[in-house]
Structure 1
Amino acid sequence: MSAGDPPAPLPGARLLFSLDPAVSYLNHGSFGAVPIGVQRVQQRLRDEIEANPHKFHTQGMLDRVIHTRRHIAAFLGADPDGSALVPNTTSAISLVLQSVRLGPTDEVLLTDHGYGSVGLATRRQCRRVGATARTVALPLGASDTEVISRVRSALRPGKTKLLIIDQIASSTAAIFPVREIAAAAREHEIPILVDAAHVPGMLPVDVSAIGADFWVGNLHKWAFAPRGTALLAVAPAWRRRMEPLVVSWEQEQGFPLSVEYQGTLDYTPWLAAPTGLFTLRTLGWEEVRRHNAALVAYGQRVVGAALGLTPADLPQPATPETAMRVLPLPAGLATTGPEAIALRTLISDKLATETAVNAWGGRGLLRLSAQIYNRPEEYDRLAERLPPLLAGLQR
């Protein structure tokens, strides 16, 4: 296979999913796609609940949750006794912001690559207590050295009470050196929260080795779990201070059970998640990662060329293993959030293709994902049909 060729499809991979064959689903990064086998396991769990709801919730359910948490934590290299299953990264961010207990003179430091809801949650918590949310700009394509330098310079010892940074940024697909950034924050005793929403299943990770105070990743994006499955890992110094957003019957047990147990919450996504990891391992995780990374690189290349972009115009990730890449859209398109949503919807409706479109830094970015159910011809088709669509918007 030459550098410009797409990877060979994994045999039978498309049959594992129930996606509409009439739609090119190039947006795995937003909501994932659950394999049929995992769907069936979750349905069997739902059937078990409805056969005897009282028995399910009162006889051994918590033990099953703990077992699942240990399985997932082992996959991610996290301490199972210092981790909690949570519905998603967004809920974990709010939990951490509440537990850090900001004061009126404190600030939270974000980057301009951060996920939108993370910024909303941070600013709301800051408004409640009179704290400040501040953003450091990190150029797209900046080297690890420059990123570390910019973040280090932005820290204000004694004032910065929390640093929030992505491991893989959703809007830009940038990968940041979180281990080195955590070390820099630790020099000033500033806690760091790593938003790793896209990491589980996409990149190999050893959470404990990162050294973050808080790390959270979704399993329902790249690890084939049902939606509503994420893991929050918390450093030992913070575990006694973690306060759940909703108090329920395991409150006195402390973290993690006080966070995990929420009464009649639907626990089936968590309990089915190990089947997603089993699916990933059965397929061969290294092979899945290789395929996805090569395919999205091909997609970025062919769509970028169709839009008149040179290789130098295409942002490259810090590691080639990523399964998401972005392309700058023509100037003037999707420069605001509402415009980005409108263009994403237009591409969906007119081209029967699901992508992610984000406004970032005054420019629209088209984000492509690749998963084992995708085929090179889907990116070829987008490359052929997208330029005329965009040209019509620029008239």
Structure 2
Amino acid sequence: MSGQIIEGVYVGWDRIRESFSLDPAVSHLNHGSFGAVPIGVQRAQQRLRDEMEANPLRFFTQGLVDRIAHTRRHLAGFLGTDPDGSALVGNTTTGVAVVLQSLGLQPGDEVLSTDHGYGAVSLAIQRECRRTGAVSRVLPIPLAATDEQIVQTVRAGLRPGRTRLLVVDQLTSATARLFPAAAIVGVAREHGVPVLVDAAHAPGMLPTPVTSIGADFWVGNLHKWGYAPRGTALLAVTAPWRDRIEPLVVSWEQDAGFPARLEWQATLDYTSWLAAPAGLFTLRSLGVDRVREHNAALAAYGQRVVGDALGVPPAQLPDPGGPAVALRIIPLPAGMATTIDAARALQTRIGERLAAEVAVMSWNGRGWLRLTGQVYNAADEYERLAVRLPALLAQR
């Protein structure tokens, strides 16, 4: 696994890609959507599935709750949060739904978020507000806003006594922007407003311990940058709220309280959770800091070469707001991918015609290409995309 640094990017990792099942004929430049599970982690999960299928009754009834708790302690330790104040959930949007329905919203209450929020989270907020009579209010924040401007916008948008929850991203999905989450939480606390931090991309990518953010609720996926099997996320809840957290579906551990009442969902396939420590083992084996540095540098390189190919001046390439961010976005030509449907269609076309999996986002009426960096990527994959993409876009 040795390598050297050239322009901030680790090279000499050619064989790392062999640790993944990815199609070698495709450039996988969108790790941020669904991740990629290393082969060793896949095998660990398969061994757990084999154990489950060899004797389902024994697997589910003899010690599974304790095994889940042990896994939670392992993951919480890595993320820097209290294991007893955390619960395993299927993904970030599930954790968001749990928090929303546990608040007891009423008519006249409001849930405050920003226009950088993840689409499914926004839909969850809207649904809960429709169900309860509460109101969803969205704060517009310019893409180039400084951390101070973001904090000031949030401060001005809070309505103490009416704002029952503030939902902010730690790292946004559509705009690849690192938000000053800890500072935002501090401002909200001054006004008595609880905060839910959507940290879908944080575990494994960002080094910030959960406790240092101080949010009332924090939820992040480990199946993106933590190499865990899909369907693995952790919801952290501060002590005053734990007794109020209710699962979306009641099962046999309901009377055990938080977190067991949230984690136990009867015949759920728990093998993804139980195999998650193998993902963190992989990350640690590669070197956590080295992987983070490599991924961020490679994403920045991809943004530069593709941006240059599309005629985007360097000054117009959005800054993610932090050195560890392995997501980068590039503006697409005006009028392209201005709707979600158009963005999805273009993403599919790029995948089929250029053999490159990327993310195409529509945000505030503008189309954006999102690239990621991961250990299985190489600089020439971004270079090939840069050479071929302009011609494809010209065919619209």
- Is the Cα–Cα contact under 8 Å of residues 5 and 11 in structure 2 kept in the other structure? no
Tell me the SS of whatever aligns to 2:11.
Answer: coil
Task: Check 1:35–1:178 CA distance in 2 against 1; reply closer, same or farther (3 A cut).
Answer: same
- CA deviation profile, 1:345-393 (whole Å, cap 9, x unmatched): 0001111110001100110010001100001110000000000000111
Equivalent residue number for residue 229 of structure 2? 226
Give the number of equivalent residue pairs. 393
Gap change, CA 1:156 and 1:8, over 3 Å in 2: same
Structure 1 ranges of 4+ moved more than 3 A: 1-7
Once residues 89 and 270 of structure 2 are traced to their aligned partners in structure 1, the CA distance between those partners, rounded to angstroms, is 10
The SS at the match of 2:395 is helix
State the identity as a percent: 63
Superimposed CA distance per residue, residues 39-70 of structure 1 (whole angstroms, 9 cap, x where no aligned partner): 00000000000100000000111110000000
Secondary structure of 1:12's aligned partner? helix
Tell whether the 8 Å contact from 1:9 to 1:375 is kept in structure 2 after alignment: no
Provide Cα deviations, 1:310-366, integer angstroms capped at 9, x if missing partner. Answer: 111100111121111000000000001100000000001111110001100110010
Aligned 8 A contact 1:106 1:131 in 2: yes
Structure 2: how far apart are the matches of 1:212 and 1:5?
Answer: 33
**Cα offsets for 1:253-275 (capped at 9, x unmatched):** 11100000000000000000000
Q: 1:303 to 1:5 in 2, by over 3 A?
A: farther
Q: Hey, what does 2:128 align to over in structure 1?
A: 125
Match of 2:255 among 235, 247, 252: 252
Residue aligning to 1:17: 20
Match of 1:29 in 2: 32
When residues 165 and 3 of structure 1 are mapped into structure 2, their CA distance, relative to the original with a 3 A threshold, is farther
Whole-Å Cα distance in 2 between the matches of residues 172 and 257 of structure 1? Answer: 35
Aligned residue identity for 1:171: A
Aligned partners of 1:205, 1:246: CA distance in 2, in Å? 31
Q: Distance in 1 between matches of 2:69 and 2:391?
A: 53
Amino acid at match of 1:206: P
Q: Write the mapping of 1:46-85 to structure 2, written as runs, cut at 5 A.
A: 46-85=49-88
Instruction: Report 1:157-176 matches (<5 A).
Output: 157-176=160-179
Q: For residues 263-282 of structure 1, what are the structure 2 equivalents within 5 Å?
A: 263-282=266-285
Shift of 1:7: 3.4
> Is the CA contact 2:8–2:294 (under 8 Å) kept in the aligned structure 1?
no
Indicate the residue corresponding to 2:203 in structure 1: 200
- TM-score normalised over the length of structure 2: 0.98
The letter for the 1-side match of 2:126 is R
Partner of 1:90: 93
1:140-166 per-position Cα deviation (integer Å, ceiling 9, x unaligned): 121110000001111011110000000
3-state DSSP class of the match of 2:52?
Answer: helix
2:339 maps to which residue? 336
CA distance in 1, matches of 2:41, 2:25: 23
Does residue 1:103 correspond to 2:106, yes or no? yes
* Structure 2: stretches of 5+ with no match in the other structure: none
TM-fit CA distance, 1:10:
2.6
TM-score of the pair, normalised by structure 1: 0.98
Shift of 1:5: 6.6
Q: Does 1:45 align with 2:52?
A: no
SS of aligned partner of 1:231: strand
| Structure 1: distance between partners of 2:77 and 2:15 | 28
